[in-house]
Each structure stands twice: as C-alpha cells, then as structure tokens.
C-alpha cells in the first residue's frame, strides 16, 4: 500500500496517522523533536532536523505523498522534498499562512474582511501604525507565533516601547483590536478534483491565548453560517488548496472578520471525531490521497474541551461521565500550557 509522509509528529500527526491507518495507508513521520506523540501510531518515524538533507531525501524516497501537521517548515526542506513528490497542501498555502502580513494581504485581495493592519519593523513604523490604526491594538510577530505567543497588547500609544521590545528583533504586524462578540472557525476541505466540503462552524473560547473549548453548533444566524462556509470555500479555491484548512473568524455586528488561516487540521475541528461520520483527519487523508470527500454533515452537538497541563489529572473523573469521548496524546510530561488531550462531550443530536 501507499505511504503518507507527515512533517511533524505532534498530536495532529498522531491523529492523522490513525485516520490514515483506517483507510489502509501507512504513515512515515519526520519530526525534529524527541519522543513525538505520533511515533506510537506511525509505521515509521525519522527524528531529524528539517535541515538534515540526507534524512529528508531518505524520507522522500520512502513515501508516496507528503503532507504536514505544522506550517512552519523551512523553505529549504520543502524545496528538497518537492523535487521528489507533491506536497499537499501546496507551497502557496504554506507561504501565505507562514507570515501574518502576507496572509492578511492575501485575504484582503480575496475580498475578505480582516482587522486593520500595518507592517512594523521598527519604532518609526510602529508610531505610524498607531497613528493610522489607533489603540487598542495587538502587535504580533509576522512568523512563528502560536497559542498567542509572540503577541503584545497595546491599550494606549504609550505601550509602544514595551510591545516592540516583546517582539525581539522579529518583523511584526500591528492589528487593530476587533470588538467581536465571539469567535468561530470553519474547518473545510478541498479535494484533488476541486470539490469543497465544510464542517459546521464551531464556536471557540480561548484562555490565555490557548483554545479552551469548541462548541457546535456555534451561535450564528443562518446567513452568518452560510457566509462563513462560503468564505472558507473562497480561500480554498483561491489557493488551489488540497487538504483540510482551519479558518478562524471573529463575529462582529458588521459581519465576519477573518483572523487567520491554518493550512492543516485544526484544534477547533477535533469535535468532528465524535460529531461527524467522516472527521477532519479522515477528510484530510481522503483529500490528499485523491478520494471523494465526506460531506461534512454533523450528527451530534459536541462540546470539545482541551486538556491542558494538569487538566490531565481529571481523566479518572471524566472517564466516569456518560457520552464523553476521551482522546489522549500519549505525552509523558504535563507542562503548563501543554496540550495533553481533549474530550468530546456529546450534548445532543443534530
């Protein structure tokens, strides 16, 4: 059978490997860090930095398709792999989502609403950006941020120096603070043939910059729900995308505003494991392997709760609940802020 290569061996790579196995594929994980969660379930694992060209070449020769669970893969590694094999989702999707400035201009050019933004490389840029956008605002590193890391809030123009210092020497982007009522995300997929399918939007609550819960159905009017799904489809088509994508949205009185896109399966899509016949992980494998897509329909209402750090200690109690599906990532050490697993509670039938 075919082998699917996955760059990144975290919990997303682990759950992708499980889905791939169910469809009869083997997976080969390439991951720089020791003891990756995906290693327990993958057929083969290579522990090597993305700069190790010999390891990358051996990996490329051992697999039939390459995908990833992590978008910050160095360009050099992608160049090397692409000489051997197709990478799904494609390079454009990666380059757009790796840099918040490029991402925002791509979204604007696609006709979608974003927070007001400006590039900030130094104190002069920041002063100009504040004059243009105002405060409150958020300064974010353009690259490599996740779980709210690499961000600084400016409540007033006087916060500029401290915020800029928090960026280190990294190029940044200033975003106007969006007064949203709540946050939702659309997990959508596009297949090799161009067909698009979306899951029902989920409503997300963050704590300390980290996703805490996702609830489906989200609080959306029928018009907002349609708008959310259509805009996700627009993004997928614009990128000629193949695979699953997460699109994070702010709900405001003036309409939906796109926060960011993730070119991979997404934490806010974990509810699909227990709310849909075909979940986001199977959907991604189907898309990249050229299969027909699941239609995304939802059979249950779900509350997904991330188990972060010490939350893992609650497992004995959660295990006694009715209708709580537990998903653990096999991580040995429960550090603060570390995603250890999640629980999908079925709260009703759709």
Supply the minimum distance, in Å, between the C-beta of residue 97 and Mg ion. 8
**CA 17, CA 19: separation in Å to the nearest integer?**
5
Tell whether residue 146 is a contact of ligand ATP (CB under 6 A): yes
The neighbouring-strand residues paired with 61 are none
Instruction: Tell whether 134 is in a known binding site.
Output: no
CA angle 214-219-224, nearest 5°? 115
> Could you say which residues in the range 163-182 bind ligand ATP, by CB under 6 A?
175, 177-178
Supply the minimum distance, in Å, between the C-beta of residue 259 and ligand ATP. 5
172 vs 325, beta carbon nearer Mg ion: 172
Q: Which does 52 bind (CB under 5 to 8 A by kind): ligand ATP, Mg ion, none?
A: none
Supply the minimum distance, in Å, between the C-beta of residue 176 and ligand ATP. 6
Supply the minimum distance, in Å, between the C-beta of residue 182 and Mg ion. 14
Check the CA dihedral 80-85-89-91 and report its sign. Answer: positive
Structure tokens at 197: 């399918």
Supply the minimum distance, in Å, between the C-beta of residue 71 and ligand ATP. 9
3-state secondary structure of 63: coil
CA angle 70-258-344, nearest 5°? 60
Q: Which does 178 bind (CB under 5 to 8 A by kind): Mg ion, ligand ATP, none?
A: ligand ATP
Sole residue written with tokens 């779980």? 147
Residue 233 phi/psi, 5-degree rounding, is -60, -40
**CA 307, CA 136: separation in Å to the nearest integer?**
31
Q: Which does 216 bind (CB under 5 to 8 A by kind): ligand ATP, Mg ion, none?
A: none
The pairing of strands 117-120 and 172-176 is antiparallel
Residue 109 phi/psi, 5-degree rounding, is -65, -25
> Could you say which residues in the range 198-237 bind ligand ATP, by CB under 6 A?
206, 209
Supply the minimum distance, in Å, between the C-beta of residue 146 and Mg ion. 5
296 in Cβ contact with 276 (< 8 Å) = yes
Instruction: Tell whether 259 is in a known binding site.
Output: yes
Instruction: Tell whether 242 is in a known binding site.
Output: no
> Could you say which residues in the range 91-120 bind ligand ATP, by CB under 6 A?
115
> For Mg ion, what does the binding mask look like between residues 258 and 277, x meaning CB under 5 A?
--x-----------------
Taking CA atoms, 48 is separated from 18, 91, 315, in Å, by: 22, 21, 33
Tell whether residue 148 is a contact of ligand ATP (CB under 6 A): yes
Binding site: residue ranges?
A: 100, 140, 145-151, 175-178, 183, 206, 259-260
Which residues would be at the binding site for ligand ATP (CB under 6 A)?
A: 115, 138, 145-149, 175, 177-178, 183, 206, 209, 248, 259-260
């Amino acid at each position: 059978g075919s082998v699917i290569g996955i760059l990144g061996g975290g919990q997303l790579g682990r759950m992708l490997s499980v889905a791939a196995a169910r469809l009869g594929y083997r997976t080969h994980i390439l991951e720089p860090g020791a003891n990756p969660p995906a290693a327990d379930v993958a057929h083969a694992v290579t522990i090597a930095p993305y700069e190790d060209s010999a390891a990358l070449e051996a990996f490329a020769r051992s697999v039939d398709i390459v995908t990833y669970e992590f978008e910050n893969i160095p360009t050099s590694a992608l160049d090397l792999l692409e000489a051997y094999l197709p990478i799904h989702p494609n390079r454009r999707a990666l380059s757009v989502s790796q840099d918040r400035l490029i991402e925002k201009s791509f979204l604007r050019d696609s006709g979608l609403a974003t927070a007001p933004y400006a590039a900030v490389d130094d104190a002069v840029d920041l002063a100009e950006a504040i004059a243009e956008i105002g405060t409150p605002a958020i300064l974010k590193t353009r690259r490599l941020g996740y779980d709210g890391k690499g961000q600084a809030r400016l409540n007033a123009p006087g916060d500029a120096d401290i915020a800029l210092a928090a960026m280190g020497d990294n190029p940044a982007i200033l975003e106007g603070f969006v007064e949203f009522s709540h946050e939702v995300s659309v997990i959508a997929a596009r297949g090799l043939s161009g067909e698009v399918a979306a899951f029902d939007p989920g409503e997300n609550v963050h704590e300390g910059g980290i996703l805490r819960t996702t609830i489906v159905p989200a609080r959306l009017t029928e018009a907002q729900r349609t708008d959310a799904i259509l805009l996700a489809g627009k993004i997928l088509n614009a990128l000629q995308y193949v695979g699953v994508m997460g699109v994070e949205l702010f709900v405001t009185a003036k309409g939906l505003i796109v926060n960011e896109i993730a070119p991979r399966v997404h934490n806010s899509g974990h509810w699909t494991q227990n709310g849909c016949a075909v979940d986001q992980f199977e959907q991604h494998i189907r898309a990249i392997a050229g299969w027909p897509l699941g239609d995304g329909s939802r059979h249950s209402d779900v509350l997904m709760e991330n188990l972060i750090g010490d939350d893992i200690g609650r497992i004995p109690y959660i295990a006694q609940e009715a209708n709580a599906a537990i998903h653990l990532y096999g991580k040995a050490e429960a550090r603060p802020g570390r995603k250890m697993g999640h629980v999908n509670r079925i709260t009703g039938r759709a």
